[in-house]
Amino acid sequence: MEPVPSHAAPPPPPAHIAIIMDGNGRWAKARGLPRTAGHKRGAESVRRTVEAAREMGVSYLTLYGFSSENWKRPAGEVTDLMGLLRLYLRNEVNHLHKNGIRLKVIGDRERLGPDIVRLIEDAEAKTAANSALTLVLALSYGGRQEMVEAARRVAADVAAGRLSPDAIDEDVVGSRLFTAGIPDPDLIIRTSGEKRISNFLLWQGAYAELVFIETLWPEFGRAELESAIQEFHGRDRRYGATR
């Protein structure tokens, strides 16, 4: 195979990148700061990463903001995280809209405060027609929970006679997931050196490339995103097929 000329344009980025944002607490602890400080600094990384993804031509960026398991954290920390979420939804929506970014939130909204749900609904409605990038925030989200809920929806359709059991296939299940209408992620990144996916996009990530990096989330930015994408392009994606 002939070498690629040095002046050749770089390959396009993955269409859908998902990130498990991990390490806020460790970043704060290493500096003798409260965990809240790490979460606040992590919110700055969100803005940097969203802007970089849009500039690089990524179509979908999913960020794991708050898992269904995070409700088990100390009540004070959960309260602080919900407060930061409120601030983000109030302060960032205009910035997202100005830059043509559509916001979509996936997860169990019933556990979120009514005011947060209203902020989410308003933000989704305001940005619905934008097309530069779709930012998906996974809040109160768990992959197993999502699959259980999808199974319930399928069962209800079968019980009501709207769906034949023989017609159930991957497309039917996928259309009942929180991410219906969103392509599966090509690349899943986890920060902070942990090497697990922690109940994140279990169905959708079946063939995603996984990149684990040592950088703590508050220090993540464009350079780390570009490095992960470079590693992605070096992978041989065969989807279970042989060479």
Tell whether residue 113 is among the known ligand binding residues.
no
Give, in order, the Cα–Cα distances in Å from 203 to each of 15, 68, 191, 206, 207.
Answer: 17, 16, 21, 6, 9
- State the catalytic residues: 22, 70
Tell whether residue 237 is among the known ligand binding residues.
no
Tell whether residue 181 is among the known ligand binding residues.
no
Tell whether residue 67 is among the known ligand binding residues.
yes
Tell whether residue 124 is among the known ligand binding residues.
no
Tell whether residue 6 is among the known ligand binding residues.
no
For residues 72 and 76, what is the distance between their CA atoms, to the nearest angstrom?
11
Tell whether residue 24 is among the known ligand binding residues.
yes
Contacts of 29 (CB under 8 A, 6+ apart): 35, 38
Tell whether residue 23 is among the known ligand binding residues.
yes
Tell whether residue 153 is among the known ligand binding residues.
no
Beta strands in 149-222 (DSSP E): 187-190, 209-212
Tell whether residue 196 is among the known ligand binding residues.
yes
For residues 130 and 133, what is the distance between their CA atoms, to the nearest angstrom?
8
Tell whether residue 22 is among the known ligand binding residues.
yes
Tell whether residue 26 is among the known ligand binding residues.
yes
Residue numbers in the known binding site for substrate are 23-27, 35, 39, 67-69, 71, 73, 190, 196-198
Binding site for Mg(2+): which residues?
22, 209
Q: Which residues are annotated as a binding site?
A: 22-27, 35, 39, 67-69, 71, 73, 190, 196-198, 209
